[in-house]
Amino acid sequence: MRRRRLRKFVPDPAFRLIAPSPQMRRVIFAVLLALHGAATAADNPGEIFELPSVEVVGTAPLPGLGTPLRDVPANVQIFGQGRFARSRASTLTQFLEQNANSVATASGQGNAFQQSLDFRGFAASPLLGQPQGLSVFQDGVRINEAFGDVVNWDLLPQSAISSVQLIPGTVPAFGLNTLGGALAIYTKSGAQYPGAAVEVSGGSFQRRSATVEAGAARGAWDGFATAHLQDDAGYAQHNPSRVRQFFGKAGYEDDVNDVDLSLTLADNRLAGAQTLPASFLDKPREAYTYPDVNENRVAFLALKASRVIGDAQLVDANAYYRRYRNVNVSSNVNDAFGSIIPDTGAIETAPAANDRAGIDEASYGTAVQWTLRAPAAGGTNQLAIGASASGASTQFTQASQPATFASDRRTIGTGDFVQTTRARLRNTDAGVYAASTLSLARWSLTASARYDSARATIEDRSGANGALDGSHRFARLDPAAGFTFHPSPDFTAYANYSEGMRAPTPIELTCADPAAPCKLPNEFLADPPLRQVVSTTLEAGARGRSARVDWSAALYRTDLRDDLAFIASGAGATNAGYFQNVGRTRRQGVELGAAIDADPFTLTVRYDAIDARYRSGFMAASPDNSAADADGGIAVRAGDRIPGIPMQSMKIRVDWTIRAGTWIALSLLAASSQYAVGDENNADRHGKVPGYFVVHLDAQYALTPRVTLFAAVDNLLDRRYASFGIVGENVFTGPGRTFGPAAGIAPVPEQFRAPGAPRSAFAGVRVRLDAD
């Protein structure tokens, strides 16, 4: 049995740990105490998901013993450290966009660290206002923020990631919000990643980046730490980023116990670039209005522990405390310009507004799982029973300041910030689940179910909006069943059925009135309640491998009942509108993938087609849609396509391995057209957002065993394209693209688009400090 060694590490003092509450300290102590005990001779499987190469699937947040891929009835995609090393993607979302089936990204904020990730038509996005349909986990802890289920991709350094598993479909064991799938991120440990390295790089748009990582093991102890710092000016004007990330993990492992305590810290400042009207795309680096800044900070402490009992049982447990803080300052057009101010009778003369919102969120939780592997029916059955509980308390404030526009559309405050919202929100969720996998000679049968009970409580703290107060509860039992058939080690066929549920978040519950659109982060209102979303998924497919080819094929269909959509109603902005249950929707498609090893070349091809449609008719507000009625409403019919989802995509990557540690790779990413948000009726005269293709180049050269040089060129052909669109109203119709209404010039309805990044290049060096 391998033993691990530890060198003490000290986090960067620039990062400040926010201490957990006394209640959380007691939970952590109790878990540690429960897992302390004498060792036996059994090997410990608790660290399997930290390995650089992983061949088993974590089919629950606490993965336990893991499930062999051949027994999983779904098109699971696993990316180990080797795949990350072969790609020079700047962010995890960019990596998945270039390497995973059915993944697309949208850059509605114009910042690489704030991309929305779309998988099979479901989103995991940092943008409030984007209905979320994917659950994301870091070492077994769900990291969708409690406030709006958003995912802040900028908070974890990519250098901390050991492997990623993208598990498709409605997987009930993963709990709430797993409508389209779950993304499980597993981090590095010192035992599996010993040694130290420093990496620095620089390139286009004043990009400067540095990463340091170190891992060590001594006896039963180990430790790993990494920090990443990056500054850049952004590919658009007024679009800089400052990223400061840290991850550290200390662990203890003997023959029966495995305990890891990890700390994630981040302090980032990300400036966005809004979508641009089509008439502005001749200058795609300009800002529609600015500034738009997000300051994200997190302190995330997580304890993960497991204990082997005998030869066939494993108990997993975790506990965590997460403190997330966000300050958002956004520049917006004042839709009330020129109207009469209620109560005063005066005319509104401020053309703009600066909105400032603050989120202070503390979340915490614990989970435990018991796994038993035993003979059954001539094969082996693996049974997992688990329970989890989590809670969060969020303080939300918002203030607004009147402003005017400079000649370059920068907003200049003309008064004081006045608080418009002060609210407290509380979320709680408790769930129990069971999953069983019976593995026979050629078949495996799976069955699982989870019961969740979620509550959201909203409380006005300003004393002015008492109607805001309320409590909402959602509960459901979700089942799943499937099978795999594997007549040989190189071929597996499978099918499954599953159900899932998503509870509306507090931000959705308080922004659901078409007559009173909200800004996001939104001015909370006493709006109608929303219904929980229920999903059902059917999937069938096959996968196999030969000496030189790995391949997979899948067909899937996910139906949603009482689906939630954000109906935008702003001037080209994604942050004004309301949430609405829109009845039934369907997302169905096909996934094809193959990797061909023709040494020294490797060819990877992935093709995806998705048909995403509304299956119920409803009325929505989209006053800038050319087909809107006199009241600004549009009639969405059953059969209309859901906006923001490309119907087809293709990814091709060719790797040429010149020698060990040295290669050149070329990647092609192509996506078909999509409807713009606000064109839910597919009838706006501006049509679809055009399809596109981009080419990326990356290369690495091992100069010595210690020193590696690398370089990458994104968008090699400097293609102009857009990954996202929205129907809106361009108010800058005056001379020199100034504010038109001030000169009596009416706004113009247009399609707004998010321009993709132009060609950029960067290069760097990685130095291992312990290489022979």
DSSP-assigned beta bridge partners for residue 436: 383, 447
Residue 417 φ then ψ, to 5°: -70, 130
Please, where are the H alpha helices in 505-564? 506-509
Please check whether residue 9 lies inside any domain of the structure: no
> How many distinct helices (H) and strands (E) make up the chain?
4, 41
Please check whether residue 771 lies inside any domain of the structure: no
Q: How far is CA 636 from CA 48, 562, 576, 625, 719, in A?
A: 49, 15, 20, 12, 34
pLDDT band at 577 (very low <50, low <70, confident <90, very high): low
Residue 195 φ then ψ, to 5°: 100, 180
Distance CA 188, CA 168 (A): 24
Contacts of 748 (CB under 8 A, 6+ apart): 277, 279, 729, 730, 733
Query: Can you give the pLDDT at residue 547?
Result: 86
Please check whether residue 772 lies inside any domain of the structure: no
Element (H, E) at 99: helix 92-99
Contacts of 389 (CB under 8 A, 6+ apart): 365, 366, 367, 428, 429, 430, 431
pLDDT beyond 60 at 405: yes
Arithmetic mean of pLDDT, 241-251: 97
Query: Can you give the pLDDT at residue 515?
Result: 58
Contacts of 576 (CB under 8 A, 6+ apart): 332, 335, 517, 518, 519, 520, 568, 569, 570
Please check whether residue 30 lies inside any domain of the structure: yes
Q: What tokens does 109 get?
A: 């904020």
Are the CB atoms for 661 and 708 separated by under 8 Å? yes
Domain ranges, residue 369: 22-282+302-461+477-759
DSSP per position, 118-131: EETTEEE-SSTTS-
Q: How far is CA 312 from CA 209, 286, 315, 436, 738, in A?
A: 46, 61, 10, 14, 71
DSSP per position, 12-78: -TTS---PPPHHHHHHHHHHHHHH-----SSPP-TTGGGSSS--EE--SSS-TT-EEGGG--S--EE
Please check whether residue 327 lies inside any domain of the structure: yes
pLDDT beyond 50 at 524: no
pLDDT in tens, 4-21: 333 333 333 333 333 444
pLDDT beyond 50 at 38: no
Arithmetic mean of pLDDT, 314-330: 96
Provide the domain count of the chain.
Answer: 1
The percent of residues in the chain predicted with pLDDT above 90, rounded, is: 68
Please check whether residue 297 lies inside any domain of the structure: no
Please check whether residue 469 lies inside any domain of the structure: no
Please check whether residue 678 lies inside any domain of the structure: yes
Q: In what order do the strands lie in the sheet with 141-142?
A: 77-79, 161-168, 181-187, 134-138, 141-142
Arithmetic mean of pLDDT, 186-204: 95
What's the one-letter identity of residue 640?
D
Q: How far is CA 299 from CA 232, 251, 316, 357, 425, in A?
A: 24, 19, 23, 20, 20
CA angle 402, 404, 405 (to 5 degrees): 145
CATH at 40: 2.40.170.20
